[in-house]
Amino acid sequence: MAPKFLQLLLVLSFQLRLSFSGQTSVMESVPDLQSSMYVTVDGYPCVRLLNLSGEIGCSNPGREKVVAPIIRLKDSNELSQLSAVLLSVEEIEIFFARILNDTTFGRNVAGVLVESGPESQNKLKGFSPALKFPQSDFAPYRSINYEWNPIGSGIMWNTYNFPVFLLSQSSTLTLQEAALNNEKNKKSYTADVAEFDLVMQTMKAGTHDSESCLKENTCLPLGGYSVWSSLPPINISSSEQSKPIILAVASMDSASFFRDKNLGADSPVSGLIALLAAVDALSKVDSVDDFDKQLVFIVFTGEAWGYLGSRRFLLELDLQSDAVSGLNYSLIETVVEIGSVGKVLNQEAKNFFVHTAGTSSATNETLDALRFAKDSVKSDHINVLSANASNPGIPPSSFMAFLRKNSLTSGVVLEDLILPSPTSSTTVTLMVYQI
Ligand SMILES: *[C@@H]1O[C@H](CO)[C@@H](O)[C@H](O)[C@H]1NC(C)=O
Ligand SMILES: *[C@@H]1O[C@H](CO)[C@@H](O)[C@H](O)[C@H]1NC(C)=O
Ligand SMILES: *[C@@H]1O[C@H](CO)[C@@H](O)[C@H](O)[C@H]1NC(C)=O
Ligand SMILES: *[C@@H]1O[C@H](CO)[C@@H](O)[C@H](O)[C@H]1NC(C)=O
Ligand SMILES: *[C@@H]1O[C@H](CO)[C@@H](O)[C@H](O)[C@H]1NC(C)=O
Ligand SMILES: *[C@@H]1O[C@H](CO)[C@@H](O)[C@H](O)[C@H]1NC(C)=O
C-alpha cells in the first residue's frame, strides 16, 4: 500500500558548526584554517514541516547562516544580544513558553541547543512536546480538553524562525565548554560562536506549503508505507472471500520535536512488537483455514501526523485499489488496536485497559476473548480491565480514523496505563505521548 496522502512535509539540509576563538596553531592552507576554527557538532534538528495551509517546526529566519555566541540562560536572565542558547531538557518547556509570550526576548534567540546526557534522563520527570490531547480533531466525542497526555507541552506544533538542535552526548560536552568559556571571557572581545548553516529551510523562497514545495521538489513527503497481511492468506482470484474480518492494527512510528530522535519504544513500538508476536504465534496454528473469521493485520505509518496511514488505508478501500485487493470494507467486523503495552513489564500488577466505543456483539466477543486469554496465562498479576468509565471515550488511536469514517465501527483499543506513572516515565526522554 502506498500512502500517497500527505499532510505534512519536512524540509531539511542542515549543518551546525562551532567556531572557536583564541586558538593558535600552525596553518598552511584554507582547510587547515577551517579545521582549526570549526568543530562540527552532531545532533538532531527540529525541522520545518509543511502542510497544505501552514508550517510548524524550525528553520533559519532567511537563507543566510546564523552565527551567534553560545550562552547558557540563568534564572530570569535576559538576552542582551543575538545568542545561541544552551538549554537542558528540563528547561525546554519554560523557555519555549517564554518565547511565545515575550517577543523582545524571542527576537534575541538566534538558535537553541538542547543538551543530552545520562544525568538529564534521570532528572527528567517526562518531557513531551506533543499536545495534552494529541490529534484531538479526530476525537469522536466533544471533550477535547481531556488530558490524555498531561505532561504534553505542545511545543512541536508551533513555528519557530530559528534553528533548534538536540545535541549528542559528546557534543553536549563541547558546547558546555564553549558556554563556560564565554562566561569567563565576558569582558574580552572573543567568543565561541555557533554557526547554523542553511538550516532546514525550503530551497526556494515562497514555498511555504506542501503543495508548492512538492511540486518544486524542494521537500520530502512525511510518512512511509503501511503494511498489511492476512491469515490465512487471502486468495485474490477467488470470489468466495466472505468471512467477516477481524482487523488487528498497530502503529510503526511516532513523531518528535527532534527529527530522528523519536523514542517511541513505550508508545507505538511496544504495540507493534505485541502484534508481531501474536502473528508469529498464530502462524504456527494449523487450523487457520477453519477459523470462522478472516484475520487481517495492519501496521500503519505516520499515525502521529493526522493518522496518515489509517486514513490512506480507508481511502484505498473506498477506491478498491490494488493495494488492498482481496479486502472488502463492508466485511470488517471489528478492529482490535494494540496501543502502548510495554510498560506493564515494570509493574507488579500488570493492568491492560480495554477502551471501547459503543457496544456491539463484536466488541463483547473481543472483550470475552481478552478475558479468556488472560485466564489462559494463569498468572494472578495480569489483569484485563475495562477502561475507567470517567474517560470521555477512546484514547488517541488509529481507531479514531475508523470511527470518523463510520461512527458505528466496532472495536477496542488495548493500552497498558491510562496515564504516565511517575516511576515509568523517568526512563523516557523524548516521547511523543504515552497513554
Ligand atoms: C496546517 O498546519 C497548521 C499549523 O499546525 C494548522 O493550523 C492547520 O490547520 C493545518 N492545515 C491543514 C489543512 O491540516
Ligand atoms: C505571559 O506574560 C504575562 C505577562 O507578562 C504573564 O503574566 C504570564 O504568566 C506569561 N505566561 C507564560 C506562559 O509565561
Ligand atoms: C484461488 O482461487 C482460484 C479460483 O477459485 C483457484 O483456482 C486457485 O487454486 C486458488 N489458489 C489457491 C492458492 O488456493
Ligand atoms: C463486499 O462485501 C459485501 C457484503 O458481503 C458485498 O455486498 C459487496 O459486493 C462486496 N464488495 C466487493 C467489491 O466485493
Ligand atoms: C454486551 O455486553 C453487555 C454487558 O456484558 C451487555 O449489557 C450488552 O447487551 C451486550 N451487547 C450486545 C450487543 O451483545
Ligand atoms: C477514574 O477516573 C477518575 C477521574 O480521573 C479517578 O478519580 C478514579 O480514581 C478513576 N478510577 C479508577 C478505578 O482508576
- What tens digit of pLDDT does each residue of 312-358 get? 999 999 999 999 999 999 999 999 999 988 877 777 778 899 999 98
Q: Is the pLDDT of residue 83 over 50?
A: yes
Q: Cβ < 6 Å from ligand 2: which residues? A: 97-98, 101
pLDDT score for 202: 45
Would you say the CB of residue 320 lies under 6 angstroms from ligand 4?
yes
pLDDT score for 237: 82
Weakest-pLDDT range from 17-21, 88-92, 431-435: 431-435
H or E element, residue 213: helix 210-215
pLDDT score for 6: 29
Would you say the CB of residue 157 lies under 6 angstroms from ligand 1?
yes
User: Alpha-carbon distance 403 to 307, whole Å?
Assistant: 12
Q: Which ligand is nearest to the CA of 240?
A: 3
Q: Is the pLDDT of residue 5 over 70?
A: no
Pairing of strands 294-300, 227-231: antiparallel
Where does residue 164 rank: exposed (0-12), middle (13-18), buried (19+ CB within 10 A)? buried
Distance between Cα 55 and ligand 1 center (Å):
7
User: Alpha-carbon distance 287 to 209, whole Å?
Assistant: 52
pLDDT score for 392: 94
> Cα dihedral sign for 101, 105, 107, 112?
negative
Distance between Cα 101 and ligand 2 center (Å):
6
Domains, in order of start, for the chain:
4-215 (no CATH), 227-429 (3.40.630.10)
Distance between Cα 246 and ligand 5 center (Å):
19
H or E element, residue 29: none
Distance between Cα 334 and ligand 4 center (Å):
16
Q: Which ligand is nearest to the CA of 106?
A: 2
Atom of ligand 6 at shortest distance to CA of 391? 2
Instruction: Please give the residue that has the higher pLDDT: either 435 or 83.
Output: 83
Size (the chain), residues = 435
Weakest-pLDDT range from 3-7, 155-159, 252-256: 3-7
- What tens digit of pLDDT does each residue of 166-180 get? 888 888 888 888 888
Mean pLDDT value of segment 256-266: 75
pLDDT score for 63: 63
pLDDT score for 191: 72
Give the residue, by CA position, lying nearest to ligand 6 atom 2: 390
Give the residue, by CA position, lying nearest to ligand 6 atom 4: 390
Q: Which three cell numbers stand for residue 362?
A: 463484536
In the sheet where 193-197 sits, what is the strand order?
Answer: 38-40, 15-19, 193-197, 66-72, 83-87, 109-114, 164-167, 43-45
